[in-house]
Amino acid sequence: MAVNLEDLRKENEVLDIFCNLVSIPSPSLKEDKVIEWILDFCKKNGIDGKKDNYGNIYIHVPATDETKEPIMLSSHMDVVGDDSPVNIFLDGDFIKAEGRTLGADDKVGVACALKLAKDLVNASSDEGVSHGGLEITFTRDEETGMSGIEHVEFDKILSKYVLVCDADKLGQLQISGASYTNAKITVRGLKGGHSGIDIGDKTRLNAAKLIAELLAEFPQGAYYTDETGVITSCNLGAIVAGGVQNSIANLVEKGVKTNDYITEIMKKTSTNIINTLGMASYSIRSASVAKEEELKALMQTIVDKFNKKYKDLAEAKIEFEVHLLAFEKADDDRIEIAHTKACNKAGIKNDISSFHAGAETHIYCHNKNSKGETFMPSLLGLADVYNMHSAAEKVDYKTLIKGFEVIKNTFEEFNNFKEN
């Protein structure tokens, strides 16, 4: 018997909330309609929800036991895509949108948080769990600039523990996340010359050849891993050397496709000079500050060795530019314990790992709450979301139902936690 999406929505409230949310287009910095819907939902259900001057939403569910630690859920309201209509449909076990992104990233997290808040607010005294306060923050503009999280009023938040509900697999708990640092390497100071007339002069070294020699000594790929996965990595992004006589800007003006840039540049490259400048760029990602510093020191040592070898003939230099600080694993396993018990209760396997990219967790962990405590965030997955950020995006609705069970169980286990 075929399953009907409307019938599923009537049977399961978290699905209905999710479908309402994704049916409202909310591209980054154009979230007004979904903000309005969320605030209206809060008002209708007796939930204390407020919007700040930037458009972030804060929800507070009071504690029934003030001796218990509060906890916060965080999700973002914007999605990848435009503000065209979102027509959703059911395809087997998957909810999809016709011809565009669905917005499951991150309306899965928003839906589960709203459902939990409603259940807690409306629970009678005899059926409600004894709990500390629940805080919820919904941010704008995560996808294009993280400006929403940068405007969060951290000093008004009571919670130290933060569950950022933005991972894409049910059961995921990511307890650390990688930094993003750019390394720029240059080789210069060479004489140059004509590739025919001056080629016999052994003091006229070639920058393209030298930078290739230097880069061959650098690590590539995973540099350090542990039981949670890749912790530190180094990736060569680009090498430029030689007489390039055209620029990317000129190629853009001519309508050259991005994938053809390298081919077009090679057509305009001069081979009759001895190159005097070589440049390369690397990305360094690390969920460990110590391991990142170790890797950077190794790269600097390789550069120093190169400079000693080619003293007075060429000079190499490496510069590091930090774009995103690491989200390091906290020395506190309360969330891991609560999540493991929650998943066991829900009958699913949890997956504790490190996230080798950036998320709002990276901002939280470098800020403090109203008590001056540094936030302890984790990145949580509440549904299986596939093909994120594309027109093929889809969510397994059965995992979303189970995901709400997981967040509810996690909240309960967090409140049942006892120190050893």
pLDDT band at 367 (very low <50, low <70, confident <90, very high): very high
Bridge partners for 233 per DSSP: 222, 285
261 and 348 assigned to the same domain: no
Q: Does some domain include residue 305?
A: yes
Q: Does some domain include residue 189?
A: yes
190 and 165 assigned to the same domain: no
Q: Of 305, 316, 301, which Cα lies nearest the Cα of 186? A: 316
DSSP per residue over 78-104, as a string?
Answer: -BSS-SS---EEEETTEEEETTS---H
256 and 314 assigned to the same domain: yes
Predicted pLDDT at 241: 76
Predicted pLDDT at 251: 43
Question: Which letter, b or e, does each residue of 173-191 get, where b requires 16 or more Cβ atoms within 10 Å of its Cβ?
Answer: bbbbbbbbbebebbbebbe
pLDDT digits (tens, 9 = 90+) for 316-333: 999 999 999 999 999 999
Average pLDDT score over residue span 291-303: 98
Average pLDDT score over residue span 191-209: 70
pLDDT digits (tens, 9 = 90+) for 209-266: 889 999 999 999 999 999 999 999 999 998 887 654 444 445 445 565 655 655 655 5
217 and 314 assigned to the same domain: yes
Q: Does some domain include residue 229?
A: yes
15 and 164 assigned to the same domain: yes
118 and 240 assigned to the same domain: no
Residue 208 has pLDDT above 90, yes or no: no
Q: Does some domain include residue 61?
A: yes
SS3 254: coil
- What CATH number does residue 312 fall under? 3.30.70.360
Sign for the pseudo-dihedral over CA of 175, 376, 21, 115: positive
313 and 333 assigned to the same domain: no
CA pair distance 415, 392, nearest whole angstrom: 39
Q: Which residue, 308, 324, 340, sits at the end of a domain? A: 324
pLDDT digits (tens, 9 = 90+) for 49-101: 999 999 999 999 999 999 999 999 999 999 999 999 999 999 999 999 999 99
269 and 349 assigned to the same domain: no
Element (DSSP H or E) covering residue 270: strand 269-270
CA pair distance 289, 364, nearest whole angstrom: 16
CA pair distance 380, 360, nearest whole angstrom: 12
Average pLDDT score over residue span 159-168: 97
50 and 159 assigned to the same domain: yes
Q: What average pLDDT does the chain have?
A: 91
388 and 311 assigned to the same domain: no
pLDDT digits (tens, 9 = 90+) for 280-290: 999 999 999 99
Domain, as residue range, for 142: 5-177+327-415
Residue 35 has pLDDT above 50, yes or no: yes
Distances (CA, A) of 327 to 204, 230, 366, 367: 46, 14, 8, 11
Q: Which residue, 294, 324, 354, sits at the end of a domain? A: 324
Q: Which residue, 309, 324, 339, sits at the end of a domain? A: 324
For the ranges 7-11, 61-65, 124-128, 415-419, which has the lowest average pLDDT? 124-128
Bridge partners for 286 per DSSP: 232
230 and 348 assigned to the same domain: no
Q: Does some domain include residue 38?
A: yes
Count of domains observed in the chain: 2
287 and 389 assigned to the same domain: no
- What CATH number does residue 173 fall under? 3.40.630.10
Q: What is the largest CA-CA distance in the chain?
A: 93
Residue where the block lists tokens 């003030």: 66
Q: Does some domain include residue 420?
A: no
